[in-house]
Amino acid sequence: MAGNNGLSEKVHERGGRMTRQCRAVLDALASVDMHPTAAEVYEIVRETVPDISQGTVYRNLRRLVELGYAQELDYGPGASHFDASVESHCHARCTNCSKIIDLDIDSSLAPCLKEAQAAAKGWQISDQRIEFEGLCPECSEVNKSE
């Protein structure tokens, strides 16, 4: 089916077995709400699995994203951030320190998806990603004192 490449494979694989290392990476990601970068995930995983390699962590992060257990936030400058929450939700990103937080405002923005579906003729719109930019409390304090 056009536009559906690999989807059934993913769904099939999703029900499949997860390796111990892959599980450790997912647990590490799910244990924090800071939306860590791959390097930060590696640091967290090492606390429970000291001998895991950076390559293994990075590879399993990719795999988790492919399987739909995690999402990669690859917008904005700098390294991608990762999120164990795969439900569609909004983020705010600090333009100074790249900190990302979740915003609990999904329902008010839900119509966007329908409007996008209507506007994008012939497309199957499956998700929306909304990110707000600004300064986190710490960074706006720093700016104030300057």
Interface with Zn ion by CB under 5 A: which residues? Answer: 83, 85, 94, 96-97, 99, 102, 136, 139
Give the orientation angle of helix 20-30 with respect to helix 38-48, to 10 degrees: 110
Shortest spacing between CB 56 and Zn ion, in angstroms? 24
- Closest by CA to 29, choosing from 66, 57, 67, 59, is 57
Residue keyed to tokens 């640091």:
43
Which is closer to Zn ion, CB of 13 or CB of 27? 27
Which is closer to Zn ion, CB of 25 or CB of 56? 25
Which is closer to Zn ion, CB of 66 or CB of 102? 102
Shortest spacing between CB 86 and Zn ion, in angstroms? 9
Cα distances (angstroms) measured from residue 22 to each of 3, 36, 89, 107: 28, 16, 24, 32
Shortest spacing between CB 53 and Zn ion, in angstroms? 27
